[in-house]
Amino acid sequence: MAWRSVFLLIVVAIVSQAVNSSAYTGDGTYYNVGMGACGRVNSDSELVAAVSTTVYGRYANPNNAAICGQCALVQHGHRKRVKVTIVDKCMGCKSDDIDLSPTAFAQLADHALGRIPVSWRIVPC
| Among 100, 9, 96, residue whose Cα is nearest residue 46 | 100
HSE-CB of 18 using CA atoms within 13 angstroms: 6
Asked whether the predicted pLDDT for residue 3 surpasses 70, the reply is no
Report pLDDT digits (tens) over 96-119: 999 999 999 999 999 999 999 999
Q: Give the domains, in start order, of the chain with CATH numbers.
A: 24-123 (2.40.40.10)
What was the pLDDT predicted at 21? 59
The end-to-end CA distance of the chain, in Å, is 37
DSSP 27-91: EEEE----B-TTS-B--TTS-EEEEEHHHH---SSGGG-TTTT-EEEEEETTTEEEEEEEEEEET
d(CA 106, CA 120): 16
Asked whether the predicted pLDDT for residue 30 surpasses 70, the reply is yes
120 CB-contact burial (10 Å; exposed 0-12 / middle 13-18 / buried 19+): buried
Asked whether the predicted pLDDT for residue 9 surpasses 70, the reply is no
Report pLDDT digits (tens) over 84-99: 999 999 999 999 999 9
